[in-house]
Amino acid sequence: MNDLNINNEDIINLKEKALCVGLNLTSLVKKPDDIDIEDSMLELKELVQAAGAEVVGDLIQNRSSIDAATYMGSGKIEEIKAYADSLNASMVVFNDELSGAQIRNIEDIVGKKIIDRTTLILDIFAQRALSREGKLQVELAQLKYRLPRLYGMGGQMSRTGAGIGTRGPGEQKLEKDKRHILNRAANIRKELKEVVKIRDIQRAQRSKNRVPIVALVGYTNAGKSTLLNEIIKTHPDYEKDKEVFVKDMLFATLDVTLRKALLPNKKEFLVVDTVGFVSKLPHDLVDAFKATLEEVTYADLILHIIDATNTSSDIQKSTTESVLKDLKADDKYTITVYNKIDKLDLDIYPRNQEDMVYLSAKKNINMDKLMDMIQKALDKDSYKVKLLLPYDQGNIFSSLSDKYAIEAFEYLDTGISVTLSLDEIDYNKYKKYIEIQ
């Protein structure tokens, strides 16, 4: 039996029904990192489902060029109208970004709501943003997208609260007043600058304390949040409510998450989860979230998470690397993490390498190997020493035991002999106790 709402209406039947439409430009020479139209359309369907709608059909047109007025040509749009009507679709979702004029012209022919890929992704971000900063970033991206379309989108701009494409921090009706939008965008930028100032202060404090930072990056739904939840279980202060939301869907989490974790040698570090990427991620969205994504540029180590089960994993890897290059973070030492191997036959994936590991965060397979790799990468600037601590400096031994893994110690007549690896700050602090070899 289907669930009913307060008016005893079938909730399932109230869900928006979408026809997904894609254009395959046959005149374009394919690059190695170009996603296939079939894979791109599959991703579009997942985005539609993530936005809360039901996909009732799909259609791909092969065409040599884009039609300036209707994107696919008026004849094809008439076919789309007939197909959408036969499926009882409430909207048509296009796999590319459309101009305001194209949306208006298509809407005039089809007579249904027209959504492009950019609007769809913005809508998902609007639903998922939880923090004040996240909501502001999404609203700024929405305003930047809608501004050049004020005089072209027709009915799209006048709808309010009508489902996908109308939600988010900017859910109220957007007046067709350019000045109003520009003023609002300026105010948002001002608010975001204040947020950035606070983050800069927090970042400076972390830098002062010399706590290493490991950033998780990757395609959306690659398992970054699941991996973060497993990593933070290493910390003695771990609590279940510190875990981040996990769901098998695109863009399940958006807001930057910073959590404490512990290496096998007892050294503390911070792990940062960032927003996931997707092909054709709107530029306005990347720009709006740049302050958030810049956490990656301050990381000591990057974990690039890849879904090992995805047939387009190489293309997804290129997409993430492209964003890292835009952020000028492509020179950071990176460990490539192929996740979800529990869904593969165990004999088909390669052996682990120095900067590459195959694991399952969900099933805790090879997590120990990843933690060892993280420790090795973060300990590149550490110093292995043998200290001789006088007995009247026993508090130093206690302090070092809490902070580091003691490799060996011995009680001698002259003091405690301790072998361990120190970071640069503690090395300079305690180097007077180094035993002469």
Residue 276 assigned to a binding site: yes
pLDDT for 367-389, tens place per residue? 999 999 999 898 877 788 999 99
Strand-pairing partners, residue 71, are: 67
pLDDT higher than threshold 60 for residue 4 = no
Specify the CATH architecture of the domain 17-125: 3-Layer(aba) Sandwich (3.40)
186-205 per-position pLDDT tens digit: 999 998 888 878 877 776 76
218 labeled part of a ligand binding site: yes
119 or 402: which leads in pLDDT: 119
Average pLDDT over residues 122-133: 79
CA terminus-to-terminus distance, the chain: 78
Would you say residue 3 has pLDDT above 50? no
266 marked ligand binding residue: no
Mean pLDDT rounded to a whole number for the chain = 82
Residue with tokens 């600058």, as numbered in its chain: 193
What's the pLDDT at 44? 92
pLDDT digits 0-9 by tens, 277-310: 777 777 777 776 666 677 788 888 999 999 998 8
340 is in an annotated binding site: yes
Q: pLDDT category, 430, cuts 50, 70, 90?
A: very high
Beta pairing, strands 416-422 & 383-389: antiparallel
Could you tell me the pLDDT band of residue 250, with boundaries at 50, 70 and 90?
low
Residue 8 marked ligand-binding: no
Q: From CA 97, how far away is CA 115, in angstroms rounded?
A: 9
Mean pLDDT over 37-42 rounds to: 89
pLDDT-based confidence at 10, cuts 50/70/90? very low
Instruction: Tell whether 241 is in a known binding site.
Output: no
* The pLDDT value given to residue 154: 47
User: 275 labelled as ligand-binding?
Assistant: yes
Least confident of 19-23, 141-145, 401-405, 432-436: 401-405
How far is 343 from 162, CA to CA, in rounded Å?
Answer: 39
Q: Which of 112, 80, 84, 117 has its CA nearest to residue 98? A: 117
* Residue 22: closest CA among 98, 131, 105: 98
Whether 251 has a binding-site annotation, put simply, is: yes
Any known ligand binding at 219?
A: yes
Higher pLDDT, 276 or 48: 48
Task: Count Cβ atoms below 10 Å from residue 391 Cβ, excluding itself.
Answer: 12
Taking alpha carbons only, the member of 406, 9, 378, 411 closest to residue 215 is 378
Q: Are 26 and 62 in contact (CB under 8 A)?
A: yes
Can you name the residues that pair with 365 across neighbouring β-strands?
360
Specify the range with the lowest mean pLDDT, choosing from 104-118, 164-178, 323-337, 370-384.
Answer: 164-178
Check whether 112 has a pLDDT greater than 90.
yes
Domain ranges of the chain: 17-125, 129-152+171-209, 211-379, 382-433
Decide the pairing of beta strands 257-262 and 268-273: antiparallel
Q: Is residue 220 marked as binding?
A: yes
Predicted local confidence at residue 165, as pLDDT: 66
- Among 1.10.3470, 3.30.70, 1.10.530, 1.10.238, name the CATH number for the domain at 382-433: 3.30.70
- Evaluate whether 211-379 and 382-433 have a shared fold: no
Instruction: Please check if 245 is assigned to a binding site.
Output: no
Q: Known binder of ligand: residue 360?
A: yes
State yes or no: 252 annotated in a binding site: yes
216 is in an annotated binding site: no
CATH 3.40.630.30 fits 211-379, yes or no: no
pLDDT band of 14, cuts 50, 70, 90: low
Q: Give percent above pLDDT 90 in the chain.
A: 35
What integer pLDDT is reported at residue 81 of this predicted model?
97
pLDDT, position 261: 93
Write out the chain in H/E/C secondary structure.
CCCECCCCCEHHHHCCEEEEEEEEECCCCCCCCCCCHHHHHHHHHHHHHHCCCEEEEEEEEEECCCECCCECCHHHHHHHHHHHHHHCCCEEEECCCCCHHHHHHHHHHHCCEEEEHHHHHHHHHHHHCCCHHHHHHHHHHHHHHHHHHCCCCCHHHHCCCCCCCCCCCCCCCCCCCHHHHHHHHHHHHHHHHHHHHHHHHHHHHHHHHCCCEEEEEEECCCCHHHHHHHHHHHCCCCCHHHCCCCCCCCCCCCCCEEEEEECCCCCEEEEEECCCECCCCCHHHHHHCHHHHHHHHHCCEEEEEEECCCCCHHHHHHHHHHHHHHCCCCCCCEEEEEECHHHCCCCCCCCCECCEEECECCCCECHHHHHHHHHHHHHHHCEEEEEEECHHHHHHHHHHHHHCCCCEEEECCCCEEEEEEECHHHHHHHHHHECCC
**Does 222 appear as a known binding residue?**
yes
Better-predicted residue by pLDDT, 34 or 21 = 21
- Residue 243 pLDDT > 90, yes or no? no
Is 5 a known ligand-binding residue?
A: no
Q: What is the pTM of this model?
A: 0.70
For residues 144-157, give the mean pLDDT: 65
